[in-house]
Amino acid sequence: MKETESIQTVDTNIKIPFWRAFCFGLGDFGNNFVWTFVGSYLMIFYTDVFGIPMAAVSLLMLIARAWDAINDPIIGSLSDRTRTRWGRYRPWVLLMSFPTAIITVLTFWAHPDWSDTSKIVYMYVTYALLVLCYTGVNIPYSAMTSVLTQNTDERAKLSTMRITLANVSIAGVGIIVVPMVSALGGGNDAIGYRLTTIIFVIIFMICASVVFATQREVVPPPVKHKYPLGIQFKSMLVNRPFLIAFCGQLLWGFFVHGRGSMYTYYFKYVQGDEGLMSLYNLVGLVPLVAGCYLFKAWYNFNGNKGRVTAYGCIGAGIAMILMRFTSPIGSPVPFYALCAISKFFEGVLASGIYGVIPDTVEYGQLKTGVRNDGFLSAFISLGNKFGIALGSAGVAAALAVLGFQANVTQTPLVTGTINNFFTVIPGILSVLCGIVFLFYKIDRKTFNDILSKLNDKGQSNDPALD
């Protein structure tokens, strides 16, 4: 069987002005006031504020990923098929931001006096709805990068801006949440989390509105676009650069977001001072932003986004592993020096790990004749979420088995496990992620050749999908 896809003749080699790239990046800036907040604080909110057993939280993380396996491809496919005067993806970002905001507030609305059964049911329902609604924002937003321009350098600019602003909000959330919860709650963490969440979702909705108002989708949808899921799966499985990006997202989700869920546990239970988390994120903020910005310069010199991403992963991993032998209290100078080094390389890899994705769309289009930006973005998101699940659920399950109890002094076995999940384990996975990205072969010349071949084929891009 042969599938073909029309390519309309329009100018898609668009130069993105700084202001528009900045406004695009505000999307992830706002997104992380929801998703980083959820990834870094929801687990400790469940166990220490809501009073939900750690074992139940661990099971939730695994079941939620099964739910993602259903809704992520559906959202991706639906957004690919959307046709409006504003484009395929922009309306999703705006419209789905409203239910996401409401459900986020409900998710962080603690009811500590309820029975354990009621708490667990509430947790499952609100979290499942949150994942679905947030997916409706994030997958179309991620897919937008490949339709705003087909200039690979401009895509690198968009990804750099997106990840830079994302990391500013990631670090900002890490700096301000603990003092905000304390100040707004006046000693009542349940109220503090609720009010903090309301402020964060307002920022989130404003940023989504800015993205909708300022962006323009210039890469037209193909005339033939309603591909069966089987064809889309088949095209995805022969897209080797995409599979590398997917594996990278899986590992990245584990070692970045899984580690992120341990931040509060590490500083509260291992170091004995939850407030140190704010200092840790503050020290890492400038190196993190610097790494994001220097990715573009490094890529300009190297010409291969995957190779630069690999260097970032390996550098960050080594720094995390070495951090196991330091302490913010006993040896603060080497600890915070390694924090700065790891954050710099995390900035590099964060820009790169999203920077490689848009170029895999045209690679797959040339190889298979199928262009499915949203569908591929859905599986990138799915890989990332599975990584998060394996990290968060693995940590939660290990702590539950070892006898973790909220708000009490932990045994040395528990604190040692938390320490390892904060340092050595994510460090090893980061290095492994770097090795994966060393196999990414689309450099600047290769991508320009792909575009040239697509343009030469014009209306008859017709490789076979047997």
| Inside any domain, residue 463 | no
| Inside any domain, residue 103 | yes
Nearest alpha-carbon partner for 452 in 127, 150, 18? 150
DSSP-H helix ranges across 186-304? 189-214, 229-237, 240-252, 259-260, 263-265, 276-302
Nearest alpha-carbon partner for 360 in 273, 458, 249? 249
> What pLDDT score does 11 carry?
59
Q: How many Å apart are CA 257 and CA 353, to the nearest integer?
A: 14
Q: How many Å apart are CA 421 and CA 416, to the nearest integer?
A: 9
> What pLDDT score does 437 carry?
95
Q: What is the pTM of this model?
A: 0.76
Q: How many Å apart are CA 355 and CA 252, to the nearest integer?
A: 14
> What pLDDT score does 465 carry?
35
| Inside any domain, residue 298 | yes
Instruction: Collect all residues with Cβ–Cβ distance below 8 Å to 377 and sequence separation of at least 6.
Output: 76, 139, 140, 142, 143, 357
Q: CA angle 150-155-159, nearest 5°?
A: 155
DSSP string, 450-461: HHHHHHHHTT-B
| Inside any domain, residue 239 | yes
| Inside any domain, residue 8 | no
| Inside any domain, residue 465 | no
Residues 44, 407 contacting (CB under 8 angstroms): no
Residue 426 has which token pair?
Answer: 């994510």
Q: How many Å apart are CA 35 and CA 201, to the nearest integer?
A: 10
Measured in degrees and rounded to the nearest 5, phi and psi for residue 222 equal -65, 155
Q: Contacts from 53-56 at CB under 8 Å and sequence distance 24+?
A: 53/116, 53/400, 54/396, 54/399, 54/400, 54/404, 54/406, 55/396, 55/397, 55/400, 56/116, 56/120, 56/123
Nearest alpha-carbon partner for 326 in 318, 335, 317? 335
Question: How many other C-beta atoms lie within 10 A of the C-beta of residue 408?
Answer: 8
Q: How many Å apart are CA 43 and CA 57, to the nearest integer?
A: 7
Count how many Cα atoms sit within 13 Å of the Cα of residue 63 in the half-sphere of its side chain.
Answer: 13
> In terms of C-beta density within 10 A (0-12 exposed, 13-18 middle, 19 or more buried), how is residue 80 classed?
buried
| Domain CATH for 405 | 1.20.1250.20
CA–CA distances in Å: residue 168 to residues 9, 253, 293, 359 = 38, 18, 12, 25
Q: How many Å apart are CA 241 and CA 306, to the nearest integer?
A: 9
Nearest alpha-carbon partner for 153 in 282, 357, 16, 279? 16
The amino acid that residue 191 corresponds to is I
| Inside any domain, residue 3 | no
pLDDT tens for the chain, residues 1 to 466: 344 444 444 556 778 899 999 999 999 999 999 988 998 899 899 999 999 998 898 888 778 767 776 777 788 888 888 888 898 999 999 999 999 999 999 999 998 899 999 999 999 999 999 989 999 999 899 888 888 988 878 888 888 888 889 888 988 998 999 999 999 999 899 999 999 999 999 999 999 999 999 999 888 776 655 667 778 888 888 999 999 999 998 898 888 777 877 888 999 999 999 889 889 999 998 999 899 888 888 988 888 999 999 999 999 999 999 999 999 999 999 999 999 999 999 999 988 888 888 889 889 888 888 887 777 877 887 787 778 777 777 888 888 899 888 888 999 999 999 999 999 999 999 999 999 999 999 998 998 899 888 887 763 344 433 3
Residues 396, 301 contacting (CB under 8 angstroms): no
| Inside any domain, residue 146 | yes
Residue 167 has which token pair?
Answer: 């990391």
Q: For the chain, how long is the longest CA-to-CA vector?
A: 67
Domain count of the chain? 1
> What pLDDT score does 225 carry?
55
Q: How many Å apart are CA 239 and CA 32, to the nearest integer?
A: 29
Q: CA angle 169-37-61, nearest 5°?
A: 135
Residues 371, 365 contacting (CB under 8 angstroms): yes
Residues 44, 143 contacting (CB under 8 angstroms): no
Residues 462, 4 contacting (CB under 8 angstroms): yes
Helix axes 229-237, 357-368, angle to 10 degrees: 110
Residue range(s) defining the domain that contains residue 412? 18-217+226-457
Question: How many other C-beta atoms lie within 10 A of the C-beta of residue 3?
Answer: 18
The amino acid that residue 30 corresponds to is G
